[in-house]
Amino acid sequence: MNAALPHPLSPEAAPRPVPPAMLAALRQRFGARLSTAVAVREQHGRGESFYAALPPEAVVYCESTEEVAAAVALAGAHAVPVIPFGVGSSLEGHLLAVQGGLSLDLGRMNRVVQVHAEDLTATVQAGVTREQLNREIRDLGLFFPIDPGADASLGGMAATRASGTNAVRYGTMRENVLGLEVVTAGGEVVRTGTRARKSSAGYDLTRLFVGSEGTLGVMTEITLKLYPLPEAVSAATCHFPSIAAAVQTTIAIIQMGVPIARCELLDAHAIRAVNRHSKLSLREAPMLLMEFHGSPAGVREQAQTVQAIAREQGGEDFDWASTPEARSRLWTARHQAYFAALQTRPGCRCQATDTCVPISRLAQSIDESIAEAEASGIPYWIVGHVGDGNFHLSYLFDPDDAAEVAAVERLNLQMVQRALRLEGTCSGEHGIGLHKMGYLQEEAGPGAIEMMRGIKRALDPLNIMNPGKIFAL
């Protein structure tokens, strides 16, 4: 907790207190599943962002869609904010109760409602995490590929339009949510989409809710696309003489249409942290961590093509992770890079940038960002879903050093402005939350923001759904 990180509060940000009558009604309905304990509220008012917590006034643990609807209806009757909560892994301040109100914890709504193996679909409650889903469907020979690193809830992943390491082949939550059950701001239960793979039936409400960060309603059930577990999976690391060489390799892979499943960049700083944290001995030089999915022959063919491309850029021979255990160790290490990096500078916070650019602009985008980071003297590390043009240059800064805080904000803004000049976006996968509201204004422009505002007002006229996020009303 510190005061050095201001919350970019929007003009309408005056807190809207939970009136005693509402609290009493919640207590009557939810009993011990209503909590106003400080620790619980703090936990629900922060996420993994670098902001100090802004706790909600109360937390309700919902166990069914009906309970969510009842809580939202009550909040609506008192014009009190409602903030849906999954596992709390969001990164941009999505969960901060900037206007007070109620946190709806959906973690107990963790039932896989239906799996239709023959249709490659599953319907889950919003609190199911991606690892839980994958455990429950593995014996059916199926998997759900979207993997943002954290074992996030699928509701949270839908809310931020998450993607991660597998998106280069399988798409993001945008492409993999078929339908939703949502509780509207009016407390109504509405279904969007069907289990059909495609549809031209009316406005795409599903895709409107995906990425809406809890500002339009609460997603309670999510129908997802599943995939057959690939017959063959191979992972390999490949080291390069420079980040530029690794990036050029990635660009060529994508341009040739190789259906690579994962293509992750780690810089030397990230590898150093990962080695220390996960007791690995990877060479501390720019590296691509790749995975290939397909038939045994198909995987071999992909790997040969990629190896040839890598060699042209001075890449070393592949180091294969041939067993599932070796593969899992590598990916676990990759996913723990965030926590590993935090440990390299005690007391620091991490600000992860999240720009995404067209693949041909990636080299310029990374090069210039590194030059600025080096010039700043602030420790940083890079990992990237480079196959998508998305990378995270993360600063490890001292939250009590006002100059450093300001420098990091300035550096992030420069990166965003560069990404926009390169026809990219300020956020590849983390969302806008509180932190990127200003960036979104630059990216979308006043006309598009006005459309978003219009939609928000239409679906949430009292502005109770996670107010003060994405844009100011």
Task: For the segment 165-224, give every residue that binds its own copies (CB under 8 A).
Answer: 167, 171-172, 174-175, 184, 188-192, 194-205, 207-208, 210-212
228 counts as binding its own copies under rule CB under 8 A: yes
DSSP 386: G
Question: Which tokens is 162 given?
Answer: 């998450």
Tell me the residue type at 304: Q
Which one of residues 459, 463, 465, 467 is an interface residue with its own copies (CB under 8 A)?
459
Q: How far is the CB of 405 from its own copies (least distance, A)?
A: 23
Q: Identify residues 342-401 at the interface with its own copies (CB under 8 A).
A: 354, 356-361, 388-390
Contacting residue, 21, 280, 326, 448, with its own copies by CB under 8 A: 448
**Which range, of 34-42, 268-276, 292-300, 397-405, touches its own copies by CB under 8 A?**
292-300
As given in the structure block, the two tokens for residue 326 are 């070796």
Rule CB under 8 A: say whether 440 interacts with its own copies: yes
Report helix, strand or coil for 350. Answer: strand
Convert residues 101-130 into a mask of x (bound to its own copies by CB under 8 A) and - (unbound). Answer: ---------------x-xxxx---------
- Closest by CA to 150, choosing from 168, 139, 141, 163, is 163
From candidates 43, 65, 129, 160, binder to its own copies by CB under 8 A = 160
CA 161 to chain centre: 7
Report 237-266 residues binding its own copies (CB under 8 A).
251, 254-257, 259
Please tell me whether residue 430 binds its own copies under the rule CB under 8 A. Answer: yes
Cα(31)–Cα(36) distance, integer angstroms: 12
* Strands 121-125 vs 217-225: parallel, antiparallel or unpaired: antiparallel
9: Cα separation from own chain's centroid: 22
162 belongs to the binding site for its own copies (CB under 8 A):
yes
SS3 273: helix
Q: Tokens representing 451?
A: 């459309």
* Beta sheet of 82-85, edge-to-edge order: 34-35, 58-61, 102-105, 82-85
Closest to its own copies by CB, 163 or 237: 163
- Pick the piece of the chain touching its own copies (CB under 8 A) from 28-36, 127-135, 226-234, 400-408: 226-234
* E strand segments, 86-158: 102-105, 112-116, 121-125, 142-143
Closest distance of CB 380 from its own copies, Å: 22
For its own copies, the closer of residues 89 and 237 by Cβ is 89
CB of 450 to its own copies, least distance (A): 8
Of 330 and 432, the one with the shorter C-beta distance to its own copies is 432
Among 89, 125, 163, 353, binds its own copies (CB under 8 A): 163
What's the CA angle centered on 75, arms 105 and 436, to 5 degrees? 65
Helix (H, G, I), strand (E, B) or coil at 88: coil
Please report the beta strands in 362-430, taking only residues with DSSP state E, as ranges in sequence order.
380-385, 390-397
To its own copies, the closest distance from the beta carbon of 156 in angstroms equals: 12
What values do phi and psi take at 190, rounded to 5? -130, 140
* Residue list 69-108, contact with its own copies (CB under 8 A): none
